[in-house]
Structure 1
Amino acid sequence: MADPDTRARNRFLALVMTRLGGAMLAIFGLLALNGKLAVPAALGWIALVAGVLAFLVVPLMMARRWRTPRG
């Protein structure tokens, strides 16, 4: 098993990368909806919703799963 500091660092990195990916996906969706990209508007909406969820909800779920159990 990995040492606790390494595990904590890796989990933090996973949370940060999840938020970064969600932000990038949401920006892609916004660009698609504004007509800056040649993709259908439906794809823009899907990307926007998925990006917002990945930015706001998924890291909370990950942190809850990794929380240290109480006593």
Structure 2
Amino acid sequence: MKIYRLLTEEDTSAFCHKVSEALSKRWELYGDPTYAFDHANGIMRCAQAVTKEIDGDYHPDMKLGQQ
């Protein structure tokens, strides 16, 4: 089964590290990254969707970051 995550972070190297860590755990990029200005905090935010094939069924209590 395929599971989905949306990684988000402030537009700093921390975002790149978060995506790189997911890729090292065999997550795959899904679509293009997106950027948006966070008016409340005056910063840019990034988002990247990732997917991964896993054995078994999806459960809402899964810790997707630990997959």
TM-score (norm 2): 0.30
**Greater relative CO (CA pairs within 8 A, separation 6+):** 2
Which is helix-richer, 1 or 2? 1
TM-score (norm 1): 0.29
Which is strand-richer, 1 or 2? 2
Report the structure number with the largest CA radius of gyration. 1
